[in-house]
Amino acid sequence: MSARLNVNIDHVATVRQARRAPEPSVVAAAMMCEQAGADGITIHLRGDRRHIIDNDLHALRQVVTTYLNVEMAATEEMLKIALDTLPDAVTLVAENPDEITTEGGLDVRSNLSVVRAAVSRFREANIISSLFIDPDPQQIEAAHEAGAQQVELCTAEYADATLGARANHTEGAMRAAQELRRLREAATLAKQYGLHVAAGHGLTYRNVGAVAAIAEIQEFNIGHNIVSRSIFIGLADAVREMREAIERQG
């Protein structure tokens, strides 16, 4: 069975916020993604609200019928919002106000007590806890110690290497193969700890297949490439194409 696909619709909100206009509607986008076969919807509520805003989360909680995953930093403000709106899952991420996008995994090892406390509050509220981490054995062990149900492996280094693989053939291809091996080993270890395994960041129609071939990875969170493609072929077809790329596994 192929991995589930949660479509990250942050950049639908990015277009809206560029004009502070009512359109495009993230609610309409979420419904269209679900109808096109997405297994869930992912949003990132950032501290600076640069794309998704609080009202979006409230509205999406009402309409998303598949699975709603909310990425957030482990701050008290965000924890309260999650406990108030009750998404199906929360993915804790590292957040830096100056970054263009999430720059890497959360350092769970160095923030173990904060993460463990957040996970325990989510568990009481029946919210699944996922931790966005680099494919690093120490972080996987820490995620297990924190009591999380899931890890999401950051695929940014792999994705970056695949872009390099096109620009500089041998060196880029070797780096991509190395990053893929790190992901495979991390996914195997996480599974051994009994964690569910997701992956995401920077994945595209071209590079997702090799990651989808890792049997331990059960879920993908993909946004930018789907929303980019949707400009040319429409959102529903963009979701279908990504689903097919995942199912092809290569």
Q: Which residues bind ligand PXP (CB under 6 A)?
A: 8, 10, 44, 71, 91, 93, 101-102, 132, 152, 200-203, 221-225
Contact 241, 229 (CB under 8 A): yes
Please give the backbone phi and psi of residue 56, each rounded to the nearest 5 degrees, phi first. Answer: -60, -45
Q: Is the dihedral of CA 224, 130, 46, 23 positive or negative?
A: positive
Contact 201, 155 (CB under 8 A): yes
Using the minimum distance from each CB to ligand PXP, give the nearer residue, 56 or 152: 152
Could you tell me the smallest distance in angstroms from the CB atom of residue 170 to ligand PXP? 26
Contact 162, 206 (CB under 8 A): yes
What does the block give as tokens for 60? Answer: 């999406």
Q: Examine the residue annotation and report whether 44 is marked as an active-site residue of this protein.
A: yes
Rounded CA-CA distance 82/6 in Å is 18
Using the minimum distance from each CB to ligand PXP, give the nearer residue, 99 or 169: 99
Going by the DSSP 8-state scheme, the letter that residue 101 receives in this structure is: S
Going by the DSSP 8-state scheme, the letter that residue 127 receives in this structure is: P
Q: Name the β-bridge partners of 129.
A: 90
**DSSP run (H or E) holding 130:** strand 128-133
Contact 38, 66 (CB under 8 A): yes
Could you tell me the smallest distance in angstroms from the CB atom of residue 95 to ligand PXP? 9
Q: Which of 95, 144, 201, 219 is catalytic?
A: 201
Q: Which of 11, 44, 51, 144 is catalytic?
A: 44
Using the minimum distance from each CB to ligand PXP, give the nearer residue, 48 or 124: 48
Using the minimum distance from each CB to ligand PXP, give the nearer residue, 139 or 221: 221
Could you tell me the smallest distance in angstroms from the CB atom of residue 72 to ligand PXP? 10
Could you tell me the smallest distance in angstroms from the CB atom of residue 11 to ligand PXP? 7
Could you tell me the smallest distance in angstroms from the CB atom of residue 135 to ligand PXP? 13
Q: Examine the residue annotation and report whether 247 is marked as an active-site residue of this protein.
A: no
- Strand, helix or coil for residue 173: helix
Using the minimum distance from each CB to ligand PXP, give the nearer residue, 180 or 208: 208
Rounded CA-CA distance 212/4 in Å is 10
Q: Examine the residue annotation and report whether 11 is marked as an active-site residue of this protein.
A: no
Residues marked as catalytic: 44, 71, 201
